[in-house]
Chains A and B, each alone.
Chain A
Amino acid sequence: MPDRLAWPLGLTIVGVFLLALPHLLSFSQQEIAVFLLINILVVASYRLLTLTGEWSLGHVVLMGVGGYASALFAKLAGVPVPLAMVLGAGTSAAVAYVLSFPLFRMKGFYFLIGSFAAGEVIRLLWIKFRIFGGPKGLKLIPPFPDIGPIVFFDPTNYYYLCLVVVAASLALLYRIEHSRIGLTFHAVHWRDQLAESVGVDTRRYRTLAFVLASFFAGVSGALLAHYIGTVNPNRFDVAQMVFVLIWVIVGGTATFFGPIIGAVTLTIVNEIVLRQLGTDELRPLFYGGILIAAMLCLPGGLESLAPRLRHLFRRKAKAAPRAVEQGPGVKAGGYEPS
C-alpha cells in the first residue's frame, strides 16, 4: 500500500468506526465511550507538555479547573454552556500561566514535585471555599443545551458532541506539534542550551506548552463537568493523575498516538477483563502490575511495538530492510535530570 494513501484511508476507517461505535454498544458502554473520548483528550494534551521534557503531576487538577470554572460560569453567571466551556478552558490556561511563574523556575524533579504541590493547593482551595462547594463539590451543573430534537442527556448524543470537540482538539494538537512551535518544543527538550544559543527563549516555550496543554485539559474537564453534572475535589486527585501517567507510559510518548493507544487499550482491558473479575478494590493491583511491567519490559510503550511488527513483516516480505524508526522518547520517557 503506498504511504500516500495510508493516512486518508486509515482516518476514514477510524472515522467510520467511531461514528458507528455507539450503536454497537450497550447503554453503560456508551457512557464509558464518552469518558474514554474525554480521557483521550487529557492524555493527548499531556503529551504536548512532555514534548518539552517536563512531566507534571498537576495536569488532572488543571483539567478540574476547566470543569469547575465552566460549571461556575454556567451556574452562577448564567453564561450559555458552550461559551462557559470555552471560558472554563481559558481559565485553565490562565491558571497555568500564573502557575508557570513559580513552576518554571524549576526543572525535572523539582518541577514534578512543584506541580504536584501547586495542584494540591488548588484542590485544597476547592475544599476550603464555599463557592466551590467544599469537599462535596458542585452539584446540579447545567447540562449542555438541547439542539432541536437532539438531547445531550443521552450518552449517544453526548458521545457525538465529544467526538467533534475531541477530534477538533486532536487535529489542533497535531498541527501544533508538527508546526515550527512543536519542533521548537523538541529542541527545548533535547538541546536546550543549543536552542538558547540560537535565540530560542526556552522558558517562554515551556510556558507556552504548559498553557496550551492546560487549555485542552480544561476543555476535557468542561466536557466531563457538563456531562455528569457534578464535580468534586476527589475526581481530580492524584490517583486520577496516576491513571493518566499509566495510560501515557504504557502507550509510550514518542509519537502523537502513543498515549491515545495507551488510554484506549487500558480502558478496553479494564472494562472487558476487570469487569468480569468483579472486584473494584483489586483493580489497582492490576494497574500497578501493568505499570511496572511496562517500565521494565516495554520501556518504549505499546507504540514501540508497531515499528517492530512492521519490521518483522517487511523482513518476511523480503523487502529491503529499513532501520526501525524511533522517536526521541524511546529511552523510557526520555527523562534526563538536569
Chain B
Amino acid sequence: MPELLLQTCVNAAYAASFMALVAVGLVLIFGVMGIINFAHGELYMLGAYAVVYVYADHHLPFWLAVASGLIFVGLLGIAMEHALFRPMRQNPLGGLIVSIGMLLILQALIVAGFGVRMEHIPPPHQQAIPLFGMAVTIPLQRLITILAAAVLLGALWLFLKRSKFGRALRACAQDPEAAALQGISLNQTARMSMFIGAALAGTAGALTAPLVRTYPYMGHPIIVTAFIVIIVGGMGSLEGAVVAAILYAFVSTFVTTFWDGVTADIVGLLLMLLVLVVRPYGLFGKPERA
C-alpha cells in the first residue's frame, strides 16, 4: 500500500508538471491580452505532432524534435496574435470565438496531414529509474518532463521578475493603459506573451507525446483540464496556476487510481464549480473591480 501511494504521488508529479506548463501559458496570454485562448489544447497537440514529424517520421534526435516543437508552436502563437487577437483587443468574447475558429482549423489541418488515427511514437527512453528503494519507479521520459517543466517555469519566473521586458509584461497585465503611457508597446508585449504561452504548450505536447495517446483531438481533454486549473488558481495568477496544477493533478491522479477516470473528471469539474461559487476569483486571484 505505501508503495502504491508513493507511486501515485510520482505519477501525480508528472501530471502536474505538464499541466502547469499548459496552464501557465494560458494564464500568461489571458493576463496580458485579456483573451481566453480556446485553441491552447491544439497548440499542445501541435507540439506532439512536431515530435511525430521530426522524431518518429524522420528519425532525428528527440531533443531536436522538442526544440522544433517549441519554436514552431511559438511562432504560430505570434502569427495568431498578429492576425486574430490584435483586431479583437477590445472584445474578449470575440477573441475567444476566433480562437475557437482556430481550434477547428488546426484540428482539420492535422487530420488532413496525418489522418485521424493514433500515432505510434517509439519511446526515446525505455529505462525506469528506481526511487525510494526498488518498489517505486519513474520512467526516465516522465522524469525528463518533470525536470524540463521545472527548468522552463523557473526560467519564466526569473524572466518575469528580473528582466526589464518581464516587468513590462507584468505592467501590461496590471494596467494596459498606464503601461502604454510609460512607453511600453502593447503589441510587443502581446506578441511576446503569446510566443511564450504557445511555446510552453507546444513543449508540453512534445515532451509528453511518447507517453500519451497522440491523435488530432487530444487537445480537448487538455483544454478542459487547463480551464479547471486556471479557474481554481485564479485567472490572472501565474503562481496560482502552478499551485492549482499540482493540486488538481494530485486529486485527479488519486481518484483515477482508486476509483476511475470518469469519476476523476467529475470530481475535478465539481472542484472548479465549488471554487467558482465560493471564491470566483480563484485561490490566488484578486477580486475584480466592480
Q: Is the CB of B105 within 8 A of A289?
A: yes
Within 8 Å by CB of B101, from A106, A113, A289, lies A289
B140 at the interface (CB under 8 A from A): no
Knowing A281-B108, A282-B108 touch, does A292 contact B98 (C-beta < 8 A)? yes
Give a binary string over A280-291; 1 marks a CB under 8 Å from any B CB, 0 the rest. 011111011111
Hey, which chain B residues are within 8 Å of A264, CB to CB? none
Hey, which chain A residues are within 8 Å of B280, CB to CB? 105-106, 110
What's the dominant secondary structure at chain B's contact region? helix
B180 at the interface (CB under 8 A from A): no
Q: Is the CB of A337 within 8 A of B34?
A: yes
Hey, which chain B residues are within 8 Å of A221, CB to CB? none
B249-290 CB contacts (< 8 Å) to partner A: 262-263, 265-266, 269-270, 272-273, 276-277, 280, 288
A271-324 CB contacts (< 8 Å) to partner B: 281-285, 287-292, 295-296, 299
Q: Is the CB of B276 within 8 A of A114?
A: yes
What is the interface residue range for chain B against chain A? 35 or more
Hey, which chain B residues are within 8 Å of A127, CB to CB? 262
Hey, which chain A residues are within 8 Å of B288, CB to CB? 338
- Closest CB in chain A relative to B19 CB, distance in Å: 16
Q: Is the CB of A281 within 8 A of B100?
A: no
Within 8 Å by CB of A281, from B36, B112, B228, lies B112
- Closest CB in chain A relative to B97 CB, distance in Å: 6
Q: Is the CB of A113 within 8 A of B104?
A: no
Q: Which residue of chain B has its CB nearest to the CB of A282? A: B108
**What CA separation (Å) do A121 and B274 show in the bound complex?**
13
Hey, which chain A residues are within 8 Å of B103, CB to CB? 288
A25 at the interface (CB under 8 A from B): no
- Closest CB in chain B relative to A54 CB, distance in Å: 11
Q: Is the CB of B98 within 8 A of A245?
A: no
Q: Which residue of chain A has its CB nearest to the CB of B224? A: A120
Q: Is the CB of B112 within 8 A of A296?
A: no
Q: Is the CB of B263 within 8 A of A291?
A: no
Give a binary string over B226-263; 1 marks a CB under 8 Å from any A CB, 0 the rest. 01100100010000000000000000000000000011
Stretch in A31-39, A73-81, A138-146, A328-336 with 4+ CB within 8 Å of B: A328-336
Hey, which chain B residues are within 8 Å of A245, CB to CB? 97, 100
B26-50 CB contacts (< 8 Å) to partner A: 34, 36
Hey, which chain B residues are within 8 Å of A110, CB to CB? 231, 276, 280
B93 at the interface (CB under 8 A from A): yes
B123 at the interface (CB under 8 A from A): no
Give a binary string over A106-129; 1 marks a CB under 8 Å from any B CB, 0 the rest. 100110111011101100110110
Q: Is the CB of A282 within 8 A of B112?
A: yes
Hey, which chain A residues are within 8 Å of B277, CB to CB? 102, 105
A55 at the interface (CB under 8 A from B): yes
A242 at the interface (CB under 8 A from B): yes
Within 8 Å by CB of A335, from B94, B104, B220, lies B94
Q: Is the CB of B104 within 8 A of A287?
A: yes
Hey, which chain B residues are within 8 Å of A42, CB to CB? none
Within 8 Å by CB of A288, from B92, B108, B263, B276, lies B108
Q: Is the CB of B104 within 8 A of A333?
A: no
Hey, which chain B residues are within 8 Å of A338, CB to CB? 288
Hey, which chain B residues are within 8 Å of A281, CB to CB? 108, 111-112, 116
Where the two chains meet, the residues of B that have a C-beta atom closer than 8 Å to any C-beta of A are 34, 36, 84, 87-88, 91-94, 96-98, 100-105, 107-109, 111-112, 116, 220, 224, 227-228, 231, 235, 262-263, 265-266, 269-270, 272-273, 276-277, 280, 288
